[in-house]
Amino acid sequence: MAKNIMLVCAAGMSTSILVTNMQEIAEERNLDVHIFAVSGTEAEHKLKDKPVDVMMLGPQVRYLKPKFEELAEKNNIVISVIDMRDYGTMNGEKVLNTALKLAE
């Protein structure tokens, strides 16, 4: 069964690069994952109509974590903040590994 990984950032721009990097690694490994990015304002709406296993917040929106924790708990979603170094270097492999470990 596919794992759904949602990345949340301020506007969705820089995170889309990270999504692409993560998807390339996932394809190389033949992993059944769906990775997508949304802005902080879109995230709550997206959670209502799309199943999500792991929600990862970009470092610039880490302040939103408390807002989403209750919603995540109700929907059995694991929530985490992306490591600042991994985000800054757009290290898709490390972020994907973290997401997969959280989804276990």
60-74 pLDDT, tens digit per residue, is: 999 999 988 888 888
**22 among known catalytic residues:** no
| Domains along the chain with CATH numbers | 3-103 (3.40.50.2300)
CB 69 within 8 A of CB 79: yes
Give the model's pLDDT for residue 100.
95
Half-sphere exposure of 31 (CA within 13 A, CB side): 19
CB 3 within 8 A of CB 103: yes
From 42, 39, 17, select the one nearest 95 (Cα to Cα): 17
Residue 73 CB partners (closer than 8 Å, separation 6+)? none
Of 9, 33, 37, 56, the active-site residue reads: 9
Tens of pLDDT, residues 34-83: 999 998 888 888 887 888 999 999 999 999 999 888 888 888 899 999 99
